[in-house]
Structure 1
Amino acid sequence: MPVVHPEPPDGGWGWMVVLAAFFQSALVFGVIRSFGVFFMEFVGYFGELAGRVSWITSIGIAVQQFASPVGSALSTQYGARPVVMAGGFLSGLGLLLASFATSLTHLYLSIGLLSGFGWALVFTPSVASVARYFKKRRTLATGLAFTGVGLSSFAFSPLFQLLVDTYAWRGALLVVAGMSFNLVVCGTLIRPLTLKEDLAGPGDPGASCLGKLSTLFGLPLLSHGPFMRFVLAVTLINTGYFIPYVHLVARARELGFDEYQAAFLMSVAAVADLCGRLLSGWLADCRAFRLGHILVAWTSLTGISLALVPLGRGYPLLMAISVCYGFFSGALTPVVFSILPEIVGIGRIFGSMGLLQMMESIGGLLGAPFSGWLRDMTGDYTASFLAAGAFLLAGSLVLVTLPNFSSCLEISHIGTLDLGSPVPPTGSGLCL
């Protein structure tokens, strides 16, 4: 019989889960963020417009998010370990098949659909597992796990450019596929954890199969007003968030900088991203500021930095803006995932995170193609980055509308919200 923990242990084997999530975030979003190196290669090789090529990354991001409830439901039913291992295999297989592509459709299917689905089975269960192992130090643990994104983005952009120059884009994709298969190894480090709240879950033993399936996928959360408003905000944020990782390299090349100068912009942004995640984790866990206020601040600053990209026509200024974007965008990420358990309770973390990732996939699907379409229509990336910044600023405005944003009650009140009600009970609020 498994050992039941009354609350997250805040350490122990949890640090190994953080280590696993570190490598998983590196090999999922580190690869996605550095894929701009392949973007120019695909445009040149296939002779397609930027908007059409942008769909490769956008489909992958969207599938990773849209299929997240599947990963969450499977993790709830069978545990996160086998689900993450299966996802690691699929993500590597998709990149392997992409190296034989003869058309954009082939890349849509291999990278977009297959690798994207593998990323869905890896990312959401691993992040949720970190949240389940920590409570007081949850934001710091999440921030440490997500530093894998910053470090890998710093290393992968120039590495991928070197691989492309040495082996062409097909050989480079083969190497990236081999790297991605290491996600299977990372999955073995996720040890199952049984919490007391799991035994007192909302499931009804007498419910129908349809009802049990609905609970498994977290569908009762669709009637939870604050959760749905949070989802809307994150969707708007997500629409603009990834645009620099698809088009910033292309923007730099458009201004006349060589490929290594362009790739170095992403590397410097990645270092700033790493610093932002660590500072944000420490700042949130010291409880000097409310999580909601921290998130709104980071989101607004990220939007402003994106809107300033068109002003960076000289390399030093463009570098400075890239550093600001990397720091602010890195800082907001761990806060997003740390707030979620306080809204719905740790027992519903798998379902809520899956739904959040699925519904914000709208932003991931449309963001980069919309940016590419604006570039094709206007002839440069000015409108693209202005629109990206506007989406993040709109997301910060939605966050401000969450209940009791200007006040805060104890976190212990949050997990007891009745999910059958569209708003929190009288007298309770979100400790954001």
Structure 2
Amino acid sequence: MGENQNWPILCAAFVTQALTHGFAGSMGVFYVEWKKSFGEDLHGDGSSTIGWLTSSVFGVLLSTGPISGALSHHFGVRPVVMLGGSLSALGIFFSSFAKTIHLLFFTVPLTGFGCGLAYASSITIITKCFHKHFALASGIASTGISVGVMTLPIIIQALVKYYTWRNATMIVAGIIAQVMVCGALMKPPSELDKLVETTEFNVPEKSTQDYDQEPCAYARISTEDGGEMETAVVIKNDVLAKESRKNNFGVILDSLGLSLIWTNRVYACTLPMFFLNGAVYTTFLVYIKERAEKVGISDYNAALLISIIGISGLVARAGHGRL
């Protein structure tokens, strides 16, 4: 499959990042509503507790990357994105039934976890499908984050105003569920399919002949000049099993990407920067709307402040791929 045929996958990744990050960026809208509904039942006015709750969506979303990467490696991107979409939609939907804030402490992090699975996997699929145009594809996909932050806060604010926050969460759950549709489109190119097109495998009934009685399979491979070459692949199951058991811990660290912390200095040096950026970014998105309303700005204009962040990010993300 050529890269030109992978653009629908890029569109699916764009929408996935827009919905997942757009919802996380809209938590400032729910912060105001939840404070009105549950603030009286909490210590003080509940600002710190509800602030922690709403910011947990971003925290869980961004920290789910290693888990999402490991799952995508073992099960594929498509099922992981669809799982993430279903978990995030269920988390948002069940939040609408919360009579006390205690239920939200389960459903809101669940939503963040689902969004994190889908978001990280949407990045993975870009690296698999685009090589020659990777910078351009990455830039286009990441603009989905800014588009989501730019549009969803205003949409959610309108839904909250006309349908109350409980009914709004049900509608938003249906919107976020479209991540599952995007996941169904994310079928990465299979190297096995390319191999099968040029390779004819012939596995004899007695595959233990020669090679010191080790099991082997014979393959007739088509060469580039039109000829054929027959080869044999020796399979040493016992050796592979021993090596697998010996390196299980290392494999787990590699699957989660944690080994990069001590094997890649550039990666390790960027971690503090992203940590500090995430802390400031999340705090601003959660509290800016309430602060704006306190100084007399209307609810729509307060939500628009979040959208302005998305607009500025759209300009930066659209150009970072080329840079």
TM-score class, shorter-chain normalisation, is 0.7 to 0.9
Counterpart in 2 of 1:229? 269
2:85–2:177 contact (8 Å) kept in structure 1: yes
Q: After superposition, give the CA deviation of every residue in 1:396-424 in whole Å (9 maximum; x if it has no partner).
A: xxxxxxxxxxxxxxxxxxxxxxxxxxxxx
Quote the offset at 1:77 in angstroms: 0.8
- Determine the C-alpha separation between the residues in 2 that align with 1:275 and 1:216: 33
SS in 1 for 2:4: coil
1:275 aligned onto 2:315: yes
Is 1:63 the counterpart of 2:66? The answer is: no
Q: Which residue of 2 aligns with 1:190?
A: 186
User: Is 2:3 aligned against 1:15?
Assistant: no
The structure where strand makes up a greater share of residues is: 2
Cross-structure match for 1:207: 244
Inter-CA distance 80–229: structure 2 relative to 1 (3 Å threshold): same
- The answer to whether residue 287 in structure 2 is matched with residue 247 in structure 1 is yes
Picking from 29, 34, 40, the partner of 1:37 is 29
Q: Look up the SS of the partner of 1:96 in the other structure.
A: helix
Q: In 2, Cα distance between the equivalents of 1:55 and 1:238?
A: 14
In 1, Cα distance between equivalents of 2:257 and 2:148:
32
Q: C-alpha distance in 2, partners of 1:116/1:269? A: 20
CA change 1:267–1:221 in 2 (3 A) is closer
Give the drift of 1:136: 4.6
Does the 8 Å CA contact 1:98/1:110 hold for their aligned counterparts?
A: yes
Equivalent in 81, 86, 91 of residue 89 of structure 1:
86
Report the Cα distance in structure 2 between the residues aligned to 1:265 and 1:97, rounded to whole angstroms: 28
User: 216, 219, 225: which is aligned to 2:255?
Assistant: 216
Judging changes above 3 Å, is the alpha-carbon distance between structure 1 residues 157 and 68 closer, same or farther for their aligned structure 2 residues? same
Tell me, which stretches of 5 or more residues in structure 2 are unaligned? Answer: 40-44, 193-238
Q: Which residue of 2 aligns with 1:118?
A: 114
Q: Which has the larger radius of gyration?
A: 2
Are the structure 2 counterparts of residues 125 and 110 from structure 1 closer, same or farther at C-alpha, using a change threshold of 3 Å? Answer: same
Looking at structure 2, the residues matched to 281 and 227 of structure 1 have their Cα atoms a distance apart, in angstroms, of 18
Matches within 5 A, 1:326-365: none
Q: Does residue 265 of the first structure (1) align with residue 265 of the second (2)? A: no
Q: Report the residue type matching 1:207 in the other structure.
A: S
- Code of the residue aligned with 1:26 in structure 2: it is A
Q: Please show how residues 389-408 of structure 1 align to structure 2 within 5 Å.
A: none
Say yes or no: does 1:153 pair with 2:145.
no
Name the SS of the counterpart of 2:297 in structure 1: coil
Query: Once the two structures are superposed, what CA deviation does each residue of 1:179-214 show, in whole Å capped at 9, x if it has no partner?
Result: 111111100111123569xxxxxxx94232334333
Per-residue deviation, 1:176 = 0.5
Name the CA distance, whole Å, in 2 between partners of 1:210 and 1:155. 43
Paired residues of 1:55 and 1:108 also in contact (CA < 8 A): no
Decide which of 38, 45, 68 is 1:46's aligned counterpart.
38
* 3-state SS of paired residue (1:13): helix
Aligned-residue offset at 1:50: 1.8
Provide closer, same or farther for how the CA distance between residues 273 and 219 of structure 1 changes in structure 2, counting only shifts above 3 A.
closer
Residue aligning to 1:166: 162
What are the Cα deviations for residues 289-318 of structure 1, in whole angstroms up to 9, with x where unaligned? Answer: xxxxxxxxxxxxxxxxxxxxxxxxxxxxxx
Cα 1:264–1:213, aligned 2, differ >3 Å: closer, same or farther? Answer: closer
SS in 2 for 1:161: helix
- For the pair 1:143 / 2:130, whether they are aligned, the reply is no
Q: 2:296 aligns with which of 253, 256, 264?
A: 256
Alignment coverage as a number of residue pairs? 268
Q: Is the 8 A contact 2:128 2:188 kept in 1?
A: no
Determine the C-alpha separation between the residues in 2 that align with 1:249 and 1:257. Answer: 9
Name the CA distance, whole Å, in 1 between partners of 2:150 and 2:250.
Answer: 45
C-alpha deviations, 1:133-177, integer Å up to 9, x for none? Answer: 234533321221122222232322221111111111100000000
Whether the 8 Å CA contact 1:14–1:130 is kept in 2: the answer is: no
Asked if the contact 2:38–2:46 (Cα under 8 Å) also holds between the matched residues in 1, the reply is no
With the length of structure 1 as denominator, give the TM-score of the two structures.
0.58
Cα deviation for residue 238 of structure 1 reads 1.4
What CA RMSD, in Å, does the superposition of the two structures yield over aligned residues?
Answer: 2.2
- Once residues 267 and 310 of structure 2 are traced to their aligned partners in structure 1, the CA distance between those partners, rounded to angstroms, is 30
Provide the TM-score with structure 2 as the length reference: 0.77
Question: What residue is the counterpart of 2:200 in the other structure?
Answer: none
3-state DSSP of counterpart to 1:57: helix
Unaligned runs of 5+ in 1: 4-8, 197-203, 285-432
Residues 46-55 or 166-175, more deviating: 46-55
Superposed CA offset, 1:343-402 (max 9, x none): xxxxxxxxxxxxxxxxxxxxxxxxxxxxxxxxxxxxxxxxxxxxxxxxxxxxxxxxxxxx
Q: Is the 8 A contact 1:72 1:124 kept in 2?
A: yes
Determine the C-alpha separation between the residues in 2 that align with 1:164 and 1:189. 31
Residue in structure 2 matched with residue 132 of structure 1 by the alignment: 128
Q: CA deviation at 1:239?
A: 1.4
* SS across alignment from 1:215: helix
Q: Distance in 2 between matches of 1:100 and 1:34?
A: 19
Q: Find out whether 1:79 has 2:76 as its counterpart.
A: yes
Q: 1:100 aligns with which of 87, 97, 101?
A: 97
